[in-house]
């Protein structure tokens, strides 16, 4: 199961209290202060890990608390420092202050970390208050409370090539043919309920990462349908493949289907509208598909690749163009 948003509370550890204590030894009746300092409270740390693919596990726990520092002891013993708690999140997780709404950090690479709640400072024992004038201080300070805040986590997937299009456009079938990913494929809309990432083997130890994103419909940028929830993932992609069904069974004419998705991308973000992308005519198995592909070419104003995921026709050319565009070798066909 996939989850790309979560709101959690993080509570750093409280600092340990300082101690008031005096030496009591047989041959030193006057003694002196020997109360130790407390230990610092533990921090809450978020760390990006390539081994984590979803925020589902993080979201299951509404609160993360680090350990409190231990109090100081007699004979100048310092209290133990509280253990930090490290929460693993997927690479690409953006961390926001849930109450203020500001971005704290984008954990955009493996191992990136953020100390999201700092542990409280330790309290001081009475030894630290001793002076030449005040030799028997009976004063110690309590440890400070650790930081406490609510954070909102928002995941944006990292993929080089994103597949976009209306439901039924053939995105799931395509990614199942060119990568080892196995998304659900069925004859009804919104088969893809969550992003699916797959890696295509390009030979010579090279690969290309594809993301199959849920189908967009008209009004998606305003919250209609499922696709609007995943438009943010498109922002990470270097290249977009805009898939359009040109078979005779398609619900919309190819040029109309193309316009719907292009308008939704532009409405969601001007940056998306400017991304390099290729128009791809899918399900090109029948003879009448060529005429519809030409209509799509006229609407898009750029070359349209013809493919059939069922027969494999055009897939090698598609991979080659995607590779060259993602690596900056080719100029974008549009966008």
For the chain, the domains span 5-155, 161-326
Cβ count within 10 A of residue 316? 11
Map residue 202 onto helix, strand or coil: strand
Closest CA to 163 of 93, 245, 222: 245
Give the CATH number of domain 5-155; options: 3.40.640.10, 3.40.50.150, 3.90.470.20, 2.70.210.12: 2.70.210.12
Q: Into which CATH architecture does domain 161-326 fall?
A: 3-Layer(aba) Sandwich (3.40)
Q: How far apart are the first and last CA of the chain?
A: 33
Beta bridge partners of residue 152, listed in sequence order: 7, 96
Fold match between domain 5-155 and domain 161-326: no
Contact yes or no for 263/225 (Cβ under 8 A): no
Whether residue 55 contacts residue 93, with contact meaning beta carbons closer than 8 Å, is answered with yes
pLDDT tens figures, 207-262? 888 888 776 655 544 544 444 556 667 777 889 999 999 999 888 999 999 998 88
pLDDT score, position 201: 85
CA dist 265 and 269 (Å) reads: 6
Q: What is the pLDDT of residues 180-210, one digit of tens each?
A: 766 554 454 444 446 677 888 887 767 888 8
Give the Cβ contact number of residue 52 at 10 Å.
Answer: 18
- 């978020």: which residue's tokens? 46
- What parts of the chain have a pLDDT lower than 70? 1-2, 29, 181-195, 205, 215-232, 330-335
Strand (E) or helix (H) holding 6: strand 5-11
Residue 160 Rama label (left phi>0; alpha psi -120 to 50; beta): alpha
Cα separation, 54 vs 76, in Å, equals 47
- Predicted pLDDT at 193: 47
């Amino acid at each position: 199961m996939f989850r790309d948003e979560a709101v959690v509370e993080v509570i750093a550890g409280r600092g340990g209290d300082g101690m008031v204590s005096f030496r009591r030894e047989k041959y030193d009746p006057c003694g002196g202060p020997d109360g130790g300092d407390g230990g610092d409270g533990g921090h809450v740390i978020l760390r990006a890990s390539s081994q984590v693919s979803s925020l589902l596990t993080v979201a299951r726990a509404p609160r993360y608390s680090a350990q409190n520092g231990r109090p100081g002891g007699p004979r100048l013993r310092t209290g133990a420092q509280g253990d930090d708690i490290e929460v693993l999140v997927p690479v690409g997780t953006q961390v926001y202050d849930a109450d203020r709404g500001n971005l704290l950090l984008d954990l955009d690479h493996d191992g990136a970390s953020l100390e999201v709640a700092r542990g409280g400072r330790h309290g001081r024992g009475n030894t630290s208050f001793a002076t030449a004038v005040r030799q028997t201080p009976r004063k110690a300070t309590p440890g400070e409370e650790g930081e406490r805040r609510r954070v909102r986590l928002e995941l944006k997937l990292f993929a080089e090539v994103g597949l976009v299009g209306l439901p039924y456009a053939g995105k799931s079938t395509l990614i199942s043919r060119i990568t080892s990913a196995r998304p659900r494929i069925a004859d009804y809309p919104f088969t893809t309920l969550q992003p699916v990432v797959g890696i295509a083997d390009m030979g010579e130890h090279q690969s290309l990462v594809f993301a199959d994103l849920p189908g967009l419909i008209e009004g998606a940028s305003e919250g209609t349908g499922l696709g609007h929830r995943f438009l943010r993932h498109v922002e990470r992609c270097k290249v977009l493949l805009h898939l359009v069904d040109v078979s005779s069974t398609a619900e919309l004419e190819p040029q109309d289907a193309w316009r719907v998705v292009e308008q939704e991308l532009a409405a969601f973000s001007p940056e998306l509208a400017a991304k390099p992308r290729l128009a791809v005519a899918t399900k090109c198995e029948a003879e009448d598909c060529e005429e519809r592909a030409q209509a799509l070419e006229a609407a898009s104003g750029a070359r349209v690749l013809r493919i059939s995921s069922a027969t494999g026709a055009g897939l090698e050319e598609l991979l080659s163009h995607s590779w060259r565009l993602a690596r900056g070798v080719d100029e974008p066909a549009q966008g």
